[in-house]
Structure 1
Amino acid sequence: MTVAKSLSLPIARSKTAALARVIDLVAKGYHFYFSGQCPAERLLTLVRKLHEKYGVACSPAQRLIRKQQGRANAALVIFLPTERMLLQQPNDDISAATENNSLASMDDNPSSTKGTNVAISGEASLASKRMLESVLAQVDGKRRIEWLLLATNGAGLVHEEEQLRDVKGKHRLIFCGYELVRHTTRGKAAWTFRRTREEMTDWYTLLGDQLRRQRMAEVAKALQCIAHQPGFAGVREQSSRLFDFAIQRGYRKEVPFLFFVQKLSHGDRVLI
């Protein structure tokens, strides 16, 4: 008798881990996408449905076979906030310190000379469905979980039934509040994430007002918050510009270090 293999996929508990997985997948040819949100209590139902239709929880061997057959592969990226983050407001990146970059997953610019290294190692554990259900039970019923489905080129239902966008098209992929862009370093182009134009405008407005009023303690807190946002190359470049903006307008204290992310787990693999 053949025993069916358990299906699992990683669940990111930080924005950095979720975004890092997106970069990893896009670099492997997962260039087509669509995204959405769902109530926390329906997350497992959604995952099972998407796997039945598109194979989002296929094993590496199954994905290789599908690729050899000219069929599209699909992957699902899920961001499930930690309990601490769930206590914050949905869009409070500017008003409160964000997640620690030690939860990061992948270094998209290991040669960076500005910042300090975040050293973490270890593999993700395999969590049970019951554990995930327990976590989801703690989430406010009104809280909606962000998810992103990425697909490769090829034949299959995902291209026939979904209105997919191309990450290389005019509509940039935006996930967890950050947009995916191409970044050139040392003459090589790579994918990275950066803040949206709207968020950067908000940061300049906030810092400009604080500096004009000479509220340097508030400026220090804002800069610390900026430094603790996901440390991808695109975000770090924007952070440097924000730091320069503050310095040019009278901020005299030392600015925070800018951390960069390293290749780590994309999250605990959860049985579905």
Structure 2
Amino acid sequence: MFDPPVHIHKTVFMQRVLDAVSHGYHWHTSGTVPLNKAQRLAAKFGEHYAIHRNENQRAYAKRKRECNARLFLYAPPQAKVLAWFLLATDGDGRIHEEERLRHAQDVLGRIRLDDDYELIRRTRKSDKGGGTVWSWRMTKDCERRWRERIISACRQSHALAITQAIGSLYRVPGFSGIREQTGALIALARAEWRRRHGTLDALILPPKLPYIERLPDTSLALSQVIRQGRVET
């Protein structure tokens, strides 16, 4: 029986989904599933869409102009359900007939995670090689919440709240699109604090924004997640 991996770290999960979309898995649908029903869902997708294919089988299907599909599972800490993303390539296949798929390049069809991040196609700076690449960025609502938190923290007479906000901001996943937004939010924090307090002496900033590197796989087999009861049901 197909035993799909379950990602237990958000940044690794985001990186693997980005990898798939970068390799042509642009069609997608998603949802949540209780842990005790996840194997049934994976079995259905395996039977209908062959999500268990290995690399050679996927290459053969591509040559035949058939689509390939992949299932990504994520277990948020202390969650009662698994988040699932079903991705597919162009080509002939049941998934395009049976699922209501959206295209990741459509503005209204972007892949989103927790209403906090969305996957976009963005232009890379010339000093970084130019061209366009896929990257995660904060959604508008997420970015707005950060702006409101920063402005509210800067209104306080002491630096504790803004220091905590900046510390949290530096821990968001360091994908290029998110890093660009984080840089703008840090600039906002500096400007707001200086405007209200006249000096940056009390503002503690880490030396530089973190980059996202290639992360090792930390997933667990679905059967293992169920045995360990990592997700509450």
With normalisation by structure 1, the TM-score equals 0.72
Q: Using the alignment, how far apart are the partners of 2:58 and 2:120 within structure 1? A: 26
Read off the aligned partner of 2:164 and give its amino acid letter.
K
Q: Which residue of 2 aligns with 1:232?
A: 175
Q: In the alignment, which residue of structure 1 is the partner of 2:221?
A: 270
Instruction: Give the secondary structure class of the aligned counterpart of 1:244.
Output: helix
Q: Matches of 1:220 and 1:245 in 2, distance apart?
A: 14
CA distance in 2 between partners of 1:194 and 1:210 (Å): 23
Partner of 2:210: 259
2:87 equivalent in structure 1: 150
- Kindly indicate whether the alpha-carbon contact (under 8 Å) linking 2:29 and 2:86 is maintained by their aligned counterparts in 1: yes
- Match among 40, 62, 71 for residue 67 of structure 1: 62
Q: What percentage of residue pairs aligned between the two structures are identical?
A: 30
Change (3 A) 1:271 1:226: closer
> Using the alignment, how far apart are the partners of 1:24 and 1:66 within structure 2?
19
| Cα distance in 2 between the residues matched to 1:63 and 1:246 | 48
Relative to structure 1, is the Cα distance of residues 269 and 58 closer, same or farther in structure 2, using a 3 angstrom cutoff? farther
Superposed, 1:32-43 pairs within 5 Å as 32-43=27-38
CA distance in 1 between counterparts of 2:20 and 2:84 reads: 14
- Confirm or deny: 8 A CA contact 1:80 1:145 kept in the other structure: yes
Q: Give me the whole-angstrom Cα distance separating, in 2, the residues matched to 1:173 and 1:205.
A: 25
Question: Which residue matches 2:102?
Answer: 165
Q: CA deviation at 1:269?
A: 5.5
Q: Which residue of 1 aligns with 2:117?
A: 178
Q: Secondary structure at the match of 1:249?
A: helix
**Is the contact made by 1:21 and 1:266 (CA closer than 8 Å) also made in structure 2?**
no
8 Å Cα contact 1:7-1:58 kept in structure 2: no
Partner letter of residue 119 of structure 2?
A: L
The change in CA–CA distance for 1:190 and 1:56 in structure 2 (over 3 A counts) is same
Residue type of the partner of 1:259? P
Higher relative contact order structure (alpha carbons within 8 Å, sequence separation ≥ 6): 1
Secondary structure at 2:107 match in 1? coil
Give the counterpart of 1:246 among 189, 199, 208.
189
Shift of the alpha carbon at 1:69? 1.6
Write the letter of the residue equivalent to 1:188: G
Q: CA RMSD in A?
A: 1.8
Helix, strand or coil for the counterpart of 1:71? Answer: coil
Structure with the higher helix share, 1 or 2:
2
1:198: Cα distance to partner?
0.5
* One-letter amino acid of the counterpart of residue 153, structure 1: D
- Paired with 2:38 and 2:52, the residues of 1 have a C-alpha distance of 14
Unaligned runs of 5+ in 2: 195-199, 224-233
Match of 1:196 in 2: 139
Q: Displacement of 1:145 after TM fit?
A: 1.5
* 1:77–1:147 Cα contact (<8 Å) kept: yes
* Distance in 1 of aligned mates of 2:175 and 2:48: 33
Aligned to 2:229: none
Which amino acid in the other structure matches residue 205 of structure 2?
V
- Name the amino acid aligned to 2:92: A
Q: What CA distance in whole angstroms lies between the structure 2 residues aligned with 1:258 and 1:78? A: 28
- 8 A Cα contact 1:11 1:266, kept in partner: no
